[in-house]
Structure 1
């Protein structure tokens, strides 16, 4: 079955501003990113990388001049939090990344507050962090845990737990402060609108043309090594990201994600991006090792190391819920550690031994041979 794909053409200036301020505050220069990528990519891609990142670096320098780096609110909302890719502002705005919802400022604020109310009041939802998000998944074995205990069990420093409690309890007040900061950045960013539109349109046109000739299953096979026609056939929205130019993030294959998928694609990427073949950064390497160290994910991978198995079968064997299996598989898929294929109307999972071997080989080289 073909998946309906819609490429979003509009620029989301608030999301782009959050990413840009995050990079400025944490000194993640596009110039340094360019140097790194030129070392790790084929020469044929260098011209495109230099052209795009030089433009982003110019914008970054200009916005930094108009940003009060001594403002404690800017430091609070945009300094790295938990991982190298998360900050308080991203957590506060994260439900918008998982959604195609749009509306007035008032509607968006209400939508975000409702999202945090759900996190606070639904005591069946386990909280955890991955590389980019505060995640929610249904507790294994039907557990119910209080909000404070769920925050308390997170793997982070006590001070960070208090910050999360404060953030979720008073999300409306924090949104008001965040929007005051973002409004100034959006105004400054729109002075570079011609450049941003050029970069956005080039990426958008590429994906529009791609989906005129290929389906989403083919792209998922290229990105995540999923056999074609094995992925849930939900409408999918492709969002090209300008400031977050060097990441591909897929929101899907999760029962909590609703009736559609979202794929965020940085403007540096095309359909030839592959999780298991490209060079892993130190952060990506660390993320992969974290997945292997998680007891449930480790047992899942052991169970499917020499055979294919479908979700209910894995859930019964490991005494987990199918929702939990779906959540784990989504995370493992993004790292390319599993293969997915469809047979007899069931979706089967199997360990991607090549990807695991590559992850461990890179780990060995980084630690012992470089």
Structure 2
């Protein structure tokens, strides 16, 4: 298995991320400001805060250049309550492994979406939670009945459900405005290119050195509890996120329709200043934050029951949903928080993602709590 480092951004993904951040000013931009404020108290790094400045400038320029389009942006790119899933993402069915797609091929990307292609993309996204079968073929047809059934189980408002349903029955009505908005977002990225391009160069330089000198896959498995040694014979591409920084994302490939890479992306903030050097121990403040988050998560009955259900034996989404008499969408919703906080580990086995309790993380937190309270 070979690690490859990307030296460019994914324009389509970055355009979507920019428009999502503009549609939800109290969401990502607010989180960005909070993250910066916290880091300013603990880290003295001009380079790090220059990166914050660049991303904040991109968002600010987007807000200025797309001011007249805000109503449309909010309609199509407002994230739903449980995720960064938005109406535009459902219309485009843009999956992360389309790494070679760039803004100048956006129309070609859209034109290529035959009904068969759209069915496959629907299945390959997290959106497909109504169906977790591993034997789905590229020719599988997603029916309106299946979509309706999935929407019935979604923890969304009736208005949001209707919007999602309309994305499938009136696709042609929505695709035009979305493409136009993304073209305008591309102009924002091009206008700010002199600011962000050096960050991508730094990303490439840093990760190229890390991959030469360290066991990056092993360290990611140890520190982020994601096992990337999946037995794949494809390369793994480490690629920069720009608008949504400090994120590790990945998609699971289908054997019958493999992309060029197993896809992972790592935010541009990762570098010398932060903890992906893997040799900086968590501060006492970080440990306290982990303790509080652990108690908060497991005070939720469903999350606690999920942890109990996978304590002895790993399970995949649909299997766990049947066992607990919940929808796979509900399982996915709760798993998001558990995985994000390192309490649950993921492992791919035969095209399925299996969840298991991250025993080392849980034991470490319980040990910290014991030291604090006993």
Q: TM-score, normalised by structure 1?
A: 0.69
1:148 and 2:148 are equivalent in the alignment: yes
How far residue 190 of structure 1 moved from its aligned partner, in angstroms, is 0.6
Call closer, same or farther: CA 1:336–1:23 in 2, change over 3 Å.
Answer: same
Is it true that 1:107 corresponds to 2:105 in the alignment? no
Do the aligned partners of 1:31 and 1:57 also contact (CA within 8 Å) in 2? no
Is 1:269 equivalent to 2:270 in the alignment? yes
Partner of 2:139: none
Secondary structure class of the residue paired with 1:97: coil
Measure how far apart 1:19 and its partner are.
Answer: 1.3
* Counterpart for residue 201 of structure 2: 201
Where do 1:1-370 residues align within 5 Å?
Answer: 3-27=1-25, 28=27, 30=29, 33-39=32-38, 43-44=42-43, 46-69=45-68, 71-83=70-82, 85-100=84-99, 102=101, 104-112=105-113, 114=115, 115-118=117-120, 134-136=127-129, 138-139=131-132, 146-225=146-225, 231-233=230-232, 234-252=234-252, 258=258, 260-270=261-271, 272-273=275-276, 289=297, 298-299=305-306, 301-305=307-311, 307=312, 309=313, 335-338=341-344, 351-353=357-359, 355-356=361-362
Task: Report if the CA contact (8 A) 1:25-1:69 is conserved.
Answer: no
Cα deviation 1:76-99 (Å, max 9, x = unaligned): 012232236332223434533243
Asked if the contact 1:250–1:262 (Cα under 8 Å) also holds between the matched residues in 2, the reply is yes
Cα distance per residue 1:287-310 (max 9 Å; x no partner): x94997658x945x43553x5x56
Q: How far apart in 2 are the matches of 1:39 and 1:91?
A: 34
Label 1:189 to 1:102 Cα distance change in 2 as closer, same or farther (>3 A).
closer
Instruction: Quote the residue 1:365 is aligned against.
Output: none
* Aligned 8 A contact 1:340 1:349 in 2: yes
* Whole-angstrom distance in 2 between the partners of 1:280 and 1:119: 41
* Equivalent position SS for 1:80: coil
Unpaired stretches in structure 2, ≥5 consecutive residues: 136-142, 369-374
Count the aligned residue pairs. Answer: 332
Any gaps of 5 or more consecutive residues in structure 1?
128-132, 363-370
Q: Distance in 2 between matches of 1:146 and 1:9?
A: 40
Q: Return the offset for 1:330.
A: 8.9
Is the contact made by 1:222 and 1:272 (CA closer than 8 Å) also made in structure 2? no
Q: CA separation in 1, counterparts of 2:257 and 2:305?
A: 24
Could you say which structure has the higher strand fraction? 1
**Structure 1 residues 79-125: Cα deviation after superposition (integer angstroms, max 9, x where no partner):** 232236332223434533243353733431144554543477x7xx9
> Higher RCO, 1 or 2 (CA under 8 Å, sep at least 6)?
2
Rounded to whole Å, the distance in 2 between the matches of 1:246 and 1:176 is: 32
Q: Tell me, in whole angstroms, the C-alpha distance in 2 between the residues paired with 1:330 and 1:253.
A: 20
Deviates more, 1:49-58 or 1:25-34: 25-34
Helix, strand or coil for the counterpart of 1:146? helix
Q: Distance in 1 between matches of 2:91 and 2:298?
A: 24
